[in-house]
Amino acid sequence: MRSFWGLMRAYWLSERWKEAWTLTIVIALFTAASSKTGVWMAEASGELVNSIAFFHDAGNVDPLTAVLNNAGLLVLLVIFKDAGIIGVRHLLSTTLHRKWRGWLDARFNEALLDANHTHFHLQHGARDPAGTVLAPPDNIDQRVQESVKGLTGGAIGLAMGVMGVATSLFFVGQKLIETSTEVAGLEFLGAYGGAVLGLVAVAVYVPLNTFIAMKLGGVLERLTIAIQRAEGSYRTELTTLLRRSFHVAASRGEGVQKRMHATLYRDIDRTWSRLNFFDSGYMSFSKIYDFLAGRIVAYGPGLVPYMNEKISLKGYITGAELVNSLISELTSSAPVM
**Helix, strand, or coil (residue 127):** strand
Cα 316 to its chain centre, rounded Å, is 29
pLDDT (tens digit per residue) in 39-97:
999 999 999 999 999 898 888 888 999 999 999 999 999 999 999 999 999 999 999 99
In the predicted structure, residue 105 carries a pLDDT above the cut 90: no
Predicted pLDDT of residue 185: 82
Please, what is the average pLDDT of the chain? Answer: 88
- In 95-131, which positions are buried (b, 16+ CB within 10 angstroms) versus exposed (e)? ebbebbbebbeebeeeeeeeeeeeeeeeeeeeeeeee
Domain boundaries, the chain: 1-179, 182-310
How far is Cα 168 from Cα 33, in angstroms, rounded to an integer? 10
Residue type present at position 91:
L
Predicted pLDDT of residue 248: 75
**CA atoms within 13 Å, Cβ hemisphere of 297:** 24
**Please, is 201 exposed, middle or buried when counting C-beta atoms within 10 Å of its C-beta (0-12, 13-18, 19+)?**
buried
In the predicted structure, residue 206 carries a pLDDT above the cut 80: yes
CA distances from 249 to 83, 253, 254 (A): 58, 6, 7
How far is Cα 253 from Cα 10, in angstroms, rounded to an integer? 48
How far is Cα 86 from Cα 103, in angstroms, rounded to an integer? 25
Give the residue-averaged pLDDT of 94-123: 83
- Which tops the pLDDT comparison, 228 or 297? 297
How far is Cα 77 from Cα 54, in angstroms, rounded to an integer? 23
**Any idea what DSSP says for residue 301?**
T
For residue 323, give the nearest of 36, 60, 38 by alpha carbon.
38
How far is Cα 200 from Cα 186, in angstroms, rounded to an integer? 13
Predicted pLDDT of residue 322: 92
Predicted pLDDT of residue 184: 84
pLDDT (tens digit per residue) in 7-40:
899 999 999 999 999 999 999 999 999 999 999 9
Q: What is the pTM of this model?
A: 0.76
In the predicted structure, residue 157 carries a pLDDT above the cut 70: yes
Q: CB pairs under 8 A, 24+ apart, for 72-77?
A: 73/44, 73/47, 74/41, 74/44, 74/45, 74/48, 77/37, 77/40, 77/41, 77/44
To 5 degrees, how large is the angle CA 8–CA 157–CA 102?
50
In the predicted structure, residue 115 carries a pLDDT above the cut 60: yes
Predicted pLDDT of residue 126: 66
